[in-house]
Structure 1
Amino acid sequence: MEVLWIYLIIVNLLAYILMGIDKKRARNNQWRISEKTLWLVAFVGGSFGALIGMISYRHKTKHFSFKYGLRLLALIHILLVYYVFTK
């Protein structure tokens, strides 16, 4: 179970950092991180980090899929983690 916690911490930090990098690149008109990559990292367990990154950097907040999709995915991930650790 400890390995799962370490994995979740790393993937959520990665998602948070990627949102920050993409926001900085958006401001500077530089090459961006694709939405597909952001969603992939969120889907494999980084949804909470991506959601916190979206809110704190105010990035992708106008995109319906990010605004509501990340919230739903984070809720699903929280419920899955709760289920795994209480079983």
Structure 2
Amino acid sequence: MYLSTPLTHLLIYLVINVVVYCVYWWDKKAAVEGAWRVRESTLLWLAIVGGSLGALAAQQVLGHKTRKEPFRSILMTIGALHVGLGVVWIAAPNLVVEALSHMRSSL
């Protein structure tokens, strides 16, 4: 099975963001109940690896970590970076492919 189609990428992206949203929901629930919490660094790493949409959605819908600085600013920066990368990918997909292949060859 060939896993490099745009639809496959979209589905993987959506699954990652649903999982990240659920992790944020779980952390919000734990905060309310005084239970074990997910580390902020883990929440931010989940956003960095592709879950920024889920993280930002959870932040807005659940009201989770909306006043916590610098967490809020870092998450917004990650979201803006992902939007910028998405725009570049849509506007110049060949540029992204070339950059990825260059990164692979330099490893």
Q: Which ranges in structure 2 are unaligned for 5 or more consecutive residues?
A: 1-5, 93-107
CA distances 1:57-81 after superposition (whole Å, capped 9, x unpaired): 1111121122222112111101111
- Residues 15-56 of structure 1 deviation map (CA, whole Å, 9 limit, x = unaligned): 111111100011111111111221111000111110110111
Scaled by the length of structure 1, what TM-score is found?
A: 0.88
Query: What's 1:22 paired with?
Result: 27
Q: Structure 1 unaligned runs (5+)?
A: none
Map of 1:72 onto structure 2: 77
User: What percentage of residue pairs aligned between the two structures are identical?
Assistant: 30
Larger Rg: 2
| SS, match of residue 17 in structure 2 | helix
Contact 2:21 2:57 in 1 (8 A): yes
TM-score (norm 2): 0.74
The count of aligned residue pairs is: 87
2: CA distance between counterparts of 1:24 and 1:8? Answer: 24
